[in-house]
């Protein structure tokens, strides 16, 4: 397809002989929002980390446009600038203010003008409702605020793809919503996103395509409505069932 942005072919990844991803194939169109779900240890996080070149792969090819993502190559830092990533653990730099966190990489890595980046950062912060926190340090923020700053930080690099690795998993429940709303807004604006999450309702709302991963393989994939309402495979059914409860009264 002409507008394929990210293409993964025959990817195999293993740790000390344990295969995490087996002969994995996926292509992502520009503007597509893909949600990846599956039991823990199924390889979802590893997949995102491979796409960002944080993990070395054993075989297969990951391509962004026509460029191969290879964690060991010298061009990896160039490619990473095109792929934004937000982690589960709060990963803001604790010794820098919110604004400094955001403008560090655009000015240092992309050599962009500091004023211009700062203006953009403030605009983005305003969008996520955190413009009054720009001079705060990460430790002064709540978990939800930290994750929204982390998203803004990644966005400020103007990435072509955004990877979200269970970004709400460590949050208190009342803070999950504000982060998910931010991601929904991004999706609405047409960003290309790969999202690993356990928030099934959110997945249903945000995704163009859902991928169910188990033991390093795609077991089932499809449009969110059909996947969540009529999962075809037994394993997907079983997995989705774990999020449902029978009425007992």
Residues in the site for another protein, rule: CB under 8 A? 52-54, 74, 77-78, 80-81, 83-85, 87, 89, 91-95, 104-105, 108-110, 137, 150, 153-154, 157
Between 103 and 219, name the residue whose CB sits nearer to another protein: 103
Output 85 or 130, the one with its CB closest to another protein.
85
**What's the min distance (Å) between Cβ of 77 and another protein?**
5
What contacts 218, CB < 8 A, 6 or more positions away?
24, 25, 26, 211, 212
Q: How far apart are CA 131 and CA 160, in angstroms?
A: 24
Cβ-based neighbours of 164, under 8 Å, separated by 6 or more: 48, 85, 86, 183, 193, 194, 195, 196, 197
Contact present, 213 and 43 (Cβ < 8 Å): yes
Q: How far is the CB of 228 from another protein (least distance, A)?
A: 30
Dihedral through CA 42, CA 24, CA 46, CA 30, nearest 10? -120
Cβ 193 vs Cβ 186: under 8 Å: yes
Q: Pick between residue 154 and residue 200 the one whose CB is nearest to another protein.
A: 154
Nearer to another protein, 87 or 202 (CB): 87
Rounded to an integer, what distance in angstroms lies between the CA atom of residue 147 and that of residue 176?
A: 10
Dihedral angle of Cα 89, 92, 94, 100, to the nearest 10 degrees: 180
Q: How far is the CB of 53 from another protein (least distance, A)?
A: 8
- In the complex, what is the shortest distance from the CB of residue 98 to another protein, in angstroms, rounded to a whole number? 14
Least CB distance from residue 155 to another protein, whole Å? 11
Instruction: Indicate the residue among 195 and 219 with the shorter CB distance to another protein.
Output: 195
């Amino acid at each position: 397809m002409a507008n394929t942005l990210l293409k993964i072919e025959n990817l195999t990844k293993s740790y000390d002989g344990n295969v995490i991803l087996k002969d994995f194939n996926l292509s992502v169109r520009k503007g597509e929002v893909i949600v990846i779900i599956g039991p823990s240890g199924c390889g979802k996080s590893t997949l995102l980390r491979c796409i960002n070149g944080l993990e070395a792969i054993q075989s297969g090819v990951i391509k962004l446009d026509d460029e191969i993502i290879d964690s060991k190559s010298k061009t990896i830092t160039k490619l990473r600038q095109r792929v934004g990533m937000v982690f589960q653990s709060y990963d803001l730099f604790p010794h820098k203010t919110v604004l400094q966190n955001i403008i560090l990489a655009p000015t240092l890595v992309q050599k962009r003008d500091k004023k211009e980046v700062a203006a953009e950062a403030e605009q983005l912060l305003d969008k996520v409702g955190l413009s009054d926190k720009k001079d705060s340090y990460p430790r002064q923020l709540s978990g939800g605020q930290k994750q929204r700053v982390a998203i803004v930080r990644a966005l400020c690099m103007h990435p072509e793809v955004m990877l979200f690795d269970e970004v709400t998993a460590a949050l208190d429940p009342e803070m999950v919503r504000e982060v998910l709303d931010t991601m929904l807004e991004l999706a609405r604006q047409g960003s290309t996103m790969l999202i690993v999450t356990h928030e099934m309702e959110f997945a249903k709302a945000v995704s163009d395509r859902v991928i169910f991963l188990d033991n390093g393989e795609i077991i089932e994939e499809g449009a969110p409505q059909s996947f969540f309402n009529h999962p075809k495979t037994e394993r997907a059914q079983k997995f989705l069932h774990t999020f449902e409860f029978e009425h007992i009264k």
